[in-house]
Amino acid sequence: MKLIVNNKKAYFNYTVVDEYEVGIVLFGTEIKSIRKGKVSITEAYCSVINNELKILNMTIKQYEYGNIFNHEEGRIKKLLAHKSEIRKLSNSIKGGLTIIPLKLYIKEGKAKILIGTCKGKKNYDKREVIKERDLKRVKVD
């Protein structure tokens, strides 16, 4: 497993309830850009549209050696998950949770995304995390 992108911002801003590993439908130039690390998932989120799981606001830079077959950077991409998982995710969205991509990696030659159903943290929760992190840093010294 080769980790391409880790969404640290998601772990800070959200509490992860569940995690799911899903595949992603890509064009040829998109996977080449992903392998080079030219991808951003910090602003991305997932949604269920027409009983299909889709990822929005995921930016994959255009492949520098691509020609007329190059892809659009802000294209909505379809995620591959089982129907039962999509139903669970759809119900969690209705329950007030958000689906956020946590990691993007290559596993056995295929691009996979680790998505999580997340609940937003309040400001005092974020301050508590910063406080704990600082205390750990002081104890090590």
Tens-digit pLDDT profile for the chain (141 aa)? 899 999 999 999 999 999 999 999 998 888 999 999 999 999 999 999 999 999 999 999 988 888 777 888 888 999 999 999 999 999 999 999 999 999 999 999 999 999 999 999 888 888 988 998 899 888 765
Query: Model-level pTM greater than 0.75?
Result: yes
User: Which 8-state DSSP code applies to residue 63?
Assistant: P
Burial class (CB in 10 A: 0-12, 13-18, 19+), 56: middle
In order of 47, 51, 127, the CA distances from 116 in angstroms are 12, 18, 22
Domains and CATH numbers, the chain: 2-140 (2.40.280.10)
Distance CA 136, CA 141 (A): 9
